[in-house]
Amino acid sequence: MKKKIALVTGGFTGESVVSFKSADFVESQLDRSKYDVYKIVILKESWYFLDTNAAKHPVDKNDFSILINNNKILFDAAFIMIHGSPGEDGKLQGYFDLIGLPYTSCDALTSSLTMNKGYSKAIVDGINGLNIARSIQLFENSDDAANQVISNLIFPLFIKPNNGGSSIGMSKVKLSSELKEALKIAFNEDQQVLVEEFVEGREFSIGVYKNHQGIQVLPATEVIPSNDFFDFEAKYTPGATEEITPGRMNEEEKGRVERIVRDIYLKLNCKGMVRIDYFLQKETSNFYFIEINTIPGQTAQSFIPQQVRAAGLNISEFYGNLVEMALEKQV
């Protein structure tokens, strides 16, 4: 009998537009001979299943079921495709844990911790070969905060919402005169802001996942944005960024990166599919951790589908593996 899979999309943030695109792609690739797929939309105002006739069927939050033609449908697993809250910050995972529904992502604790860039960097600090850019974590936007940044860090700087994604609210600041506006933009997105020193080097993004053979590392993608950095426009505008998959690394760099990202996956107790962003510093080739994404984008131009193809894997089978690991509660 085919398993019933809830493909969960939407969300409470500006990343919902990307979540819908990711879910559309995943839906197009899931094997319908194995799974009955129901796209469940979660918004602040409503949770529902949208059928082929554009009719909305409300979700019963008591057990995450839907009612179609008086038939109650319960799901075997949830494939989470919500970037940002509540799909990437642990809220949805905690709810699914309470009702006993398996899901394809990291658990509630890991999702919550890794959504906070500063906290996740503190946890991975100490992994052999992993470096972290000097930074300050700010909890309010004030003159004192700006002065603290100027006194302790060296420009240029990256200003990031600490719990944000898709580079929304992120700025690169080269001069102290640009700092206040960049902090204002970031604090408009989050109550915590991370300010980091710029690391000059080559930027990469690499997928890591788990199957029955253990932790697997996909070929990395090298990111060469046409903009000053890999911002929202560069991420989601076709042609705005040069993306090379597999990325250009020598054998020593490739082996070192694979070991480090496996250690990150283990240290953060990750499950399912994640994406880790990093720099290889200019001249030294040292590995600098940027961030981890526990619900990485799955749009047509996203890194993970590129990397799956580069690894010689079938994308439908890849997504199917994530579902099967969830069903076995081995994600």
- Which pLDDT does position 229 carry in this prediction? 52
Q: How far, in Å, CA of 135 to CA of 21, rounded?
A: 33
| Judgement on whether residues 73 and 192 belong to the same structural domain of the protein | no
pTM, two decimal places: 0.90
Segment 130-178, tens digit of pLDDT: 999 999 999 888 778 888 899 999 999 999 887 765 467 888 899 888 8
Q: In this structure, which amino acid lies at residue 240? A: A
| Judgement on whether residues 322 and 236 belong to the same structural domain of the protein | yes
Quick check: 155 and 180 in contact, CB under 8 A? no
| Judgement on whether residues 252 and 118 belong to the same structural domain of the protein | yes
Top pLDDT among 240 and 152 is at 152
- Structural domain tally of the chain? 3
Segment 102-129, tens digit of pLDDT: 999 999 999 999 998 889 999 999 999 9
Quick check: 82 and 156 in contact, CB under 8 A? no
CA angle 153, 156, 162 (to 5 degrees): 70
Does the pLDDT of residue 238 top 70, yes or no?
A: no
Q: How far, in Å, CA of 2 to CA of 33, rounded?
A: 7
| Judgement on whether residues 179 and 58 belong to the same structural domain of the protein | no
Q: What is the mean pLDDT of residues 186-205?
A: 91
pLDDT, averaged across the chain: 92
| Judgement on whether residues 149 and 217 belong to the same structural domain of the protein | no
Q: Percent of the chain having pLDDT more than 90?
A: 76
206 in the Ramachandran plot: left (φ > 0), alpha (ψ -120 to 50) or beta?
beta
Does the pLDDT of residue 227 top 90, yes or no?
A: no
Last residue of a domain, one of 179, 197, 215: 197
Q: What is the mean pLDDT of residues 262-284?
A: 97
| Judgement on whether residues 190 and 217 belong to the same structural domain of the protein | no
Quick check: 274 and 216 in contact, CB under 8 A? no
Please, which pLDDT band fits residue 330 given cuts at 50, 70 and 90?
low
Sequence-ordered strand ranges (E) for the chain: 3-10, 35-42, 47-50, 56-58, 66-68, 71-73, 77-80, 130-131, 135-138, 157-161, 171-173, 193-197, 201-211, 214-217, 221-225, 241-244, 274-281, 287-293
Please, which pLDDT band fits residue 189 given cuts at 50, 70 and 90?
confident
| Judgement on whether residues 85 and 7 belong to the same structural domain of the protein | yes
Q: How far, in Å, CA of 12 to CA of 45, rounded?
A: 9
| Judgement on whether residues 184 and 237 belong to the same structural domain of the protein | no
Segment 29-86, tens digit of pLDDT: 999 999 999 999 999 999 999 898 889 999 999 999 999 999 999 999 999 999 999 9
Does the pLDDT of residue 200 top 70, yes or no?
A: yes
- Which pLDDT does position 233 carry in this prediction? 54
**41 exposure class (CB count in 10 Å sphere: 0-12, 13-18, 19+):** buried
CA 329 to chain centre: 21
Please report, for the domain that includes residue 188, its CATH number: 3.30.1490.20
Q: How far, in Å, CA of 327 to CA of 331, rounded?
A: 8
The domain containing residue 169 runs over which residues? 135-197
Segment 306-329, tens digit of pLDDT: 999 999 999 999 999 999 999 997
| Judgement on whether residues 288 and 211 belong to the same structural domain of the protein | yes
- Which pLDDT does position 37 carry in this prediction? 98
Q: How far, in Å, CA of 316 to CA of 37, rounded?
A: 13
